[in-house]
């Protein structure tokens, strides 16, 4: 086993918005295949592909109708095979999204399950009788608004849905359901994928007694908690003790891992969103029979607020205190505001410097790293008007939140062409902001100082120093927006320092280190040996070891 995923940089592709080869306004698998040379040029190790399965697209692919079919919107299984072969030809691994906690209500499993209470799949979903007064069985809430229960006349019962009413939760306690889901994973492993990103992996099982979740006694919308800001949505008003993260959930995770281990060099990483993100991530990665890695929302909700240097240090202290396994980290993905728009830096040049520094910081952390498409371009969050919104979560919460469409707009490939080179269609599935054209790939290709070329350069430079990929991490300084960490192997110790703020920082430690150059971040060592870091600057050095 090569454990290729340790220290890997994985590029997330949201297929609807990457590149449209067929000209209908929505990205597709052939479009991804066409752009694989671009992906490989970034210096990443692999790709995480968001859902492409057959789906009614109520939640844009996270409502699966058929786990072993490609949605015609994206292409065919043959297109998938061609894409996978081309990625492997370019030295890229491919992990695919697996959505196993729920399906679409159009899935044949659910269609059979809802017919009556006696059919072979009657117990494949979470069905519960009403209370005597006809109300739902408990107070559980849906993430997308409203109660987590929908009444079905055919069965005279409620079914659970943690997300949309059209996304019924599977009863993963049922061994038959587990076996069916394992068959899905085996189908794609046999096809040659290199692993899975498990969507909401701590949602698979729920409290058998259906106990009420306790309320948050100090609920405050807008308050930062575990990496995310609480919303007015009723879901955020509860402590989610009984509707997810049940201890027995790990038994199914272990079955998935055992299956994955039947194949060479495969990995499983999962998204964990919980009341205690770090603790749950640690539990799900502990030992050698669960997840290979897990990530949470601690950095996905980071806004560069005061105390950020201390936050990074404390994240790792907390994680290691729980004795977890290998972590994973991301600043951006398809569910959160883009990192380029989080932090309140209005000056474009300063924000570009910040974007570069954050890419270097993220890829210097201990763990597997995910970059979201467009992050390498420094794309900001798009302002999508209400009449153009597609995201059901955004439509429900508007105007308190515009949801997730702003981070999902199509990639601008050229600055001047129709639809910024993304599609030849008259209209794209989400609008492309005019200001994104200024960040188009074609424009950045010719600018040595662009975020795109910095990303390419830095990821290549990083691979020269194995400590930055797989070394142990320690924090030397975390104060006043100055973060200095070390990555250590038996052969070397690399020091990495970052200015997270907009004022210059000085550090009188240069005599202890041999400064490394050509990393691309701004830094100066003055005549007195003092390291001077401008706003959002950074440095790398080798620690001098005594003989």
- Decide if pLDDT at 306 tops 80: no
What secondary structure does DSSP assign to 236-273, as a single string? GGB--SSSS--TTHHHHHHHHHHHHTTSTT-EEEEE--
Q: The domain containing residue 504 runs over which residues?
A: 471-543
Task: Give yes or no for residue 455 having a pLDDT over 80.
Answer: yes
**Residue range 157-172, pLDDT digits in tens:** 999 999 999 999 999 9
Q: Are residues 267 and 197 in the same domain?
A: yes
Residue 547 has a pLDDT of: 42
Active site residue 262: yes
Q: What is the CATH number of the domain that holds 299?
A: 3.20.20.80
CATH number reported for the structural domain that contains residue 480 in this entry? 2.60.40.1180
- Cα–Cα dist 334/411, whole Å: 13
Q: Tell me, what's the pLDDT at 418? A: 97
Choose one of 461, 485, 514: the last residue of a domain: 461
The verdict on residue 155 lying in a domain is no
Q: Which of 71, 199, 376, 405 is an active site residue?
A: 199
Considering its fold, how many domains does the chain have in total?
2
* 373-406 b/e (C-beta count within 10 Å ≥ 16 → b): bbbbbbbbbbebeeeebbbbbbebbeeebbbbbb
Q: Flag the least confident range among 56-65, 113-122, 341-350, 481-490.
A: 341-350
Residue 150 has pLDDT above 80, yes or no: yes
Say what the pLDDT of residue 221 is: 74
Q: Using the 3D structure, point to which of 434, 461, 488 is the last residue of a domain.
A: 461
pLDDT attached to residue 307: 81
309 and 379 housed in the same domain: yes
Per residue in 42-54, pLDDT tens?
999 999 999 999 9
pLDDT in tens, 1-54: 789 999 999 999 999 999 999 999 999 999 999 999 999 999 999 999 999 999
Residues 402 and 451 in one domain: yes
Q: Supply the pTM of this predicted model.
A: 0.96
Whether 65 sits among the annotated catalytic residues: the reply is no
Tokens read off for 400? 């308190």
Higher per-residue pLDDT: 477 or 225: 477
Q: Are residues 494 and 426 in the same domain?
A: no
User: What is the average pLDDT across 439-443?
Assistant: 98
Indicate the SS3 state at residue 461: helix
216-274 confidence digits (pLDDT tens): 987 777 666 665 667 778 898 999 999 999 999 999 999 999 999 999 999 999 999 99
pLDDT digits (tens, 9 = 90+) for 55-92: 999 999 999 999 999 999 999 999 999 999 999 999 99
466 assigned to some structural domain: no
Are both 69 and 50 inside the same structural domain?
Answer: yes
Q: What is the reported pLDDT for 220?
A: 75
Listed residues 461, 483, 498: the one ending a domain? 461
Same domain, 362 and 479: no
Residues 456 and 348 in one domain: yes
pLDDT average, residue stretch 356-376: 98
Do 377 and 414 have their domain in common? yes
Instruction: Report the chain's mean pLDDT, rounded to a whole number.
Output: 95
Kindly state whether residues 345 and 266 are assigned to the same domain.
Answer: yes
Say what the pLDDT of residue 226 is: 62
Indicate whether 339 belongs to any domain: yes
Question: Do residues 322 and 282 lie in contact, with contact meaning Cβ atoms separated by under 8 Å?
Answer: yes
With pLDDT > 70 as the criterion, what percentage of the chain qualifies? 98
Exposed / middle / buried, residue 360 (Cβ in 10 Å: 0-12, 13-18, 19+):
buried
Point out the catalytic residue in the list 262, 387, 434, 527: 262
């Amino acid at each position: 086993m090569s454990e290729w995923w340790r220290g890997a940089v994985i590029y997330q592709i949201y297929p609807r918005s990457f590149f449209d080869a067929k000209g209908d306004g929505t990205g597709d698998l052939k479009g991804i295949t066409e752009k694989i040379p671009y992906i490989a040029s970034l210096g990443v190790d692999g790709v995480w592909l968001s859902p492409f399965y057959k789906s009614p697209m109520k939640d844009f692919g996270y409502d699966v109708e058929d786990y072993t079919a490609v949605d015609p919107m994206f292409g065919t299984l043959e297109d998938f095979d061609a894409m996978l072969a081309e990625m492997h030809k370019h030295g890229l691994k491919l992990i695919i999204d697996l959505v196993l906690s729920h399906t679409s209500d159009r899935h044949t499993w659910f269609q059979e399950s809802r017919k009556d209470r006696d059919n072979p799949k009657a117990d494949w979903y979470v069905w519960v009788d009403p209370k005597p007064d006809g109300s739902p069985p408990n107070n559980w809430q849906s993430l997308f608004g409203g109660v987590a229960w929908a009444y079905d006349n055919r069965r005279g019962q409620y079914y659970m849905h943690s997300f949309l009413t059209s996304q019924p939760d599977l009863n993963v306690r049922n061994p038959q359901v587990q076996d069916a889901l394992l068959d899905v994973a085996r189908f794609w492993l046999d096809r040659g994928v290199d692993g899975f990103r498990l969507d909401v992996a701590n949602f698979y099982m729920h409290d058998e007694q259906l106990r009420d979740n306790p309320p948050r006694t100090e609920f405050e919308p807008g308050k930062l908690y575990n990496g995310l800001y609480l919303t007015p949505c009723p879901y955020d008003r509860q402590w989610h003790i009984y509707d997810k993260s049940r201890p027995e959930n790990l038994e199914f995770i272990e079955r998935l891992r055992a299956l994955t281990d039947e194949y060479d060099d495969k990995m499983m990483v999962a998204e964990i969103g919980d009341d205690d993100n770090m603790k749950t991530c640690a539990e799900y990665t502990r030992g050698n029979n669960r997840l290979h890695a897990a990530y949470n929302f601690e950095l996905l909700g980071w806004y560069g607020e005061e105390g950020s240097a201390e936050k990074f240090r404390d994240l790792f202290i907390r994680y290691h205190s729980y004795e977890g396994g290998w972590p994973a980290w991301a600043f951006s993905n398809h569910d959160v505001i883009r990192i380029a728009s989080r932090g309140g830096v209005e000056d474009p040049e300063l924000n570009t410097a910040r974007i570069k520094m954050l890419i270097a910081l993220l890829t210097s952390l201990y763990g597997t790293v995910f970059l979201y498409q467009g992050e390498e371009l420094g794309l900001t969050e798009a302002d999508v008007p209400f009449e153009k919104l597609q995201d059901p979560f955004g439509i429900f919460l508007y105007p308190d939140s515009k949801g997730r469409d702003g981070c999902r707009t199509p990639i601008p490939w050229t600055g001047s062409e129709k639809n910024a080179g993304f599609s030849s269609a008259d209209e794209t599935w989400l609008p492309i902001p005019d200001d994104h054209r200024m960040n188009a790939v074609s424009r950045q290709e010719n600018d040595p100082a662009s975020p795109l070329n910095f990303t390419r350069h830095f990821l290549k430079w990083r691979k020269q120093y194995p400590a930055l990929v797989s070394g142990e991490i320690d924090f030397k300084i975390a104060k006043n927006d100055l973060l200095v960490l070390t990555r250590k192997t038996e052969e070397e110790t690399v020091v990495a320092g970052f200015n997270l703020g907009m004022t210059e920082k000085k550090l009188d430690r240069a005599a202890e280190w041999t400064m490394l150059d050509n990393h691309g971040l701004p830094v100066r060592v003055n005549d007195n040996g003092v390291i001077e870091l401008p706003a959002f600057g950074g440095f790398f050095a080798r620690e001098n070891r005594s003989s």
